[in-house]
């Protein structure tokens, strides 16, 4: 299922996961690499720990092709 709007994605996965997916997708569209995105997320305290970063980025990579609202 492709998500053309954020509302169904939030309903299915929650606000937290949708925030991270949106953040990572926007950074990716700016041309940043995976390592740059992860380093910036840690530096700017978007995530609390490297473990949370790994978990959320893995979720994003699994679902990034479904995100169509950005």
- DSSP string for 1-70: --BSSHHHHHHHH-HHHHHHHHHHHHHHHTT--HHHHHHHHHHTTSSSSHHHHHHHHHHHHHHGGGB---
Mean pLDDT by 10 residues, the chain (70 residues): 91 95 95 96 94 96 91
Question: Residue 19: what pLDDT?
Answer: 95
Domain extent listing, the chain: 6-66
Question: Residue 69: what pLDDT?
Answer: 86
Question: Residue 45: what pLDDT?
Answer: 93
pTM of the model: 0.88
């Amino acid at each position: 299922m492709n998500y053309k709007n954020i509302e169904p994605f939030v309903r299915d996965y929650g606000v937290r996961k949708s925030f991270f997916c949106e953040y990572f997708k926007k950074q990716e569209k700016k041309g940043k690499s995976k390592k740059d995105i992860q380093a910036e997320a840690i530096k700017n305290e978007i995530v609390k720990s490297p473990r949370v970063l790994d978990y959320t980025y893995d979720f994003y990579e699994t679902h990034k092709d479904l995100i169509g609202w950005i």
